[in-house]
Structure 1
Amino acid sequence: MHARSLLLLLPFAAGPCAAFTAGELLPSSSPPPHVPNGTVVATPGLQVQYEPADATQAGPGRLEGVAAVPAGELRSSVRIDPNGERTLTRLETRWQLQAPGPLRTVVLGDTVASGGGWSRPVRLGGLRFGRPLSLRTDPTAPIDAARKPVAATQLAPGASDYEVEMGRVRSGWNAAEGEYGENYAAAAYRAGVTAGLTAEVRTEWTDTRQAQGLELSSGLGPGGSLQAVVAQSNTADESGLRWGMGVVRSTSGATWTLTWDAYERGFTPMAAAGGELHPRSQVRAGASVPLAGRVTADLSYAQQTTWDTTTPAAVMGLAAKMPVLRKSTLSLDYSWREGPQPLRRAAVVFAVPLDDGQR
């Protein structure tokens, strides 16, 4: 029997309804994607996620189903909005498979590009295959957003990974007007250069943009790593560089992160929304600390400046996760953004296993 779980998410927001994360501080016409781990993990079951428009009225909900089949796993999700013009809107549909050999992970349908350590993950419809480069975590989580640039797993000398992605970039995926836009292709290769040094090269292409970059990750003894990135983005109108460094350290169960990034004015992020401001610098810091009784607490802070404004934008996040009842967990999250468009947001997540998790 496959493990099953039920997830109920009840967020509310005060202020304008705009998505924001510690990694992407600026408001955008399309929210940042929810990025699954780079490794496709079979989790058959049912997930229910309810997202009210605000604290006073009911909003749309999201329903996801997973079916395990002999040739892999089929996932599909729909948006349910009883008050909207369309009651049901398809969000994502994909087939995914893990197998031995060079392909290892294959995903066909709606998926998310990994993004690497310097590029923005994007939603696309198409094909993704290869050995996952690293565990790319959800950037909507404050602590994960600060940890992402230094999360690459070290490879042994001579070992290598690769990944290929191709399809069409998807915009407005959570609304009735969602569509598949410009063509997209990306390829990455990662190798263990020496003991404690891993290098990753990545290139991306769309109808309007080309980019390539290098990421180096070096171990800093037990529980620590140092990461550096440099990348160039080119469009018909402009060209620019991005570079940065980050460090992560784990001691006594606690994890500490600090990253810094700088951008030239001509650097264009992947799938940039119309009117999106050009970033100039970003500083991110985070800590994940275990507390008594298996309770963990996360604290994150991020600040971003742009070439278009003089006022920096900043995000602070607090989160706590604790076990309740039998094998259930309760998570509390609170975050706020200061700057040109301030916003406060809170969420409560209650996860309940529907069986004992045995197969």
Structure 2
Amino acid sequence: MGRQRWWIGIWLLAWWWGALAQTPAMPPPQEEELFLEVMLNGEATGLILRFTRGASSGLRSSVQNLRDLELDPKLFGVEGRQEFDLDGVKGLSYSYDAARQSIALRVDDALRAPIEVSARTQRLPGKATVTPGAVINYDAFTRLGTDRSSSVANELRYFNAGGVLTSTGVFNYSSQLRQYIRFDTAWVHADPDTLETWQVGDFISSSLNWSRSLRMGGVQWRRSFDLRPDLLTFPAATLTGSAVVPSAVSLYINGVRQVDTAVPSGPFIVNQVAGINGAGQATLVTHDAAGRAVSTTVPLYVDTRMLAAGLTDYSVELGALRRRYTTASFDYGAPVLSGSVRRGLSDSLTLEAHAEAGRD
């Protein structure tokens, strides 16, 4: 009887071992899918985004989540990928709240593209309209005494959509002299779209700081930045800052307030800072919702003689030298050619050249 029980025990053990061997292995744990409310640097984004979590790893996010949060995947080093580990990005930290089904992301400024704020109003001037008209200006002078004399200076101007025609001169009258001297006569056409000006008649040629000007009669073709008063032609200063929370930003140039605007949390750039010619001082003040203010003052130096990167200034003249100006009306000399050009290669380098040609 004991021998029979012993065989029964062996048979039960063998059956249990075979059944255990035939039991399929448990599948590896799959990733858990989470839909979490996202906070970014302490601000509610209003977004619920999808994240995944493995059994032994941290949270993973899709690259599309970064775009939805208006973050640049390039700065995170994950461009071209579908997903990435949150723990694998330097400068990114997070706190996962399972009870609230939310995640709070903390992103360093280096991972956020700065918000750009312009210190100037980006309002284009309206289209100019021209009504034809004419203007006469004069200035009369008389001297009494033994040598009586009189003079009347005048300016005649007619304008229409094609340009402006001007003529200036002076009439001198005395016992020894009765004479009218013409000063300048010219037709000028300016195009605000191309910032180019054509002038036919009398003019003063272009020059640089180290070259001379010529009084000529002929044709001049030049770039005219003054047709766009809103255009900054010199390299403007740029200031950078960062706001921990959404803030109001004020910019002061030499103590005069220039800008008042609002920025979200994160880095920002204030560009096209004008109002400085030479050395100056800029103060950037940020105010948060609680009224706390952070002030930063930096010295600046702006050289308005330079051209901003990419801008080109030029002038070309062809004609004859004007001689005995103010004493003869039509005294022109040898033909001459003159030209000047300036090019802003960068905000710190402007190249310029000037050339003249003529006959003695």
What's the TM-score, normalizing by structure 2?
0.37
What's the TM-score, normalizing by structure 1?
0.37
**More helix per residue:** 2
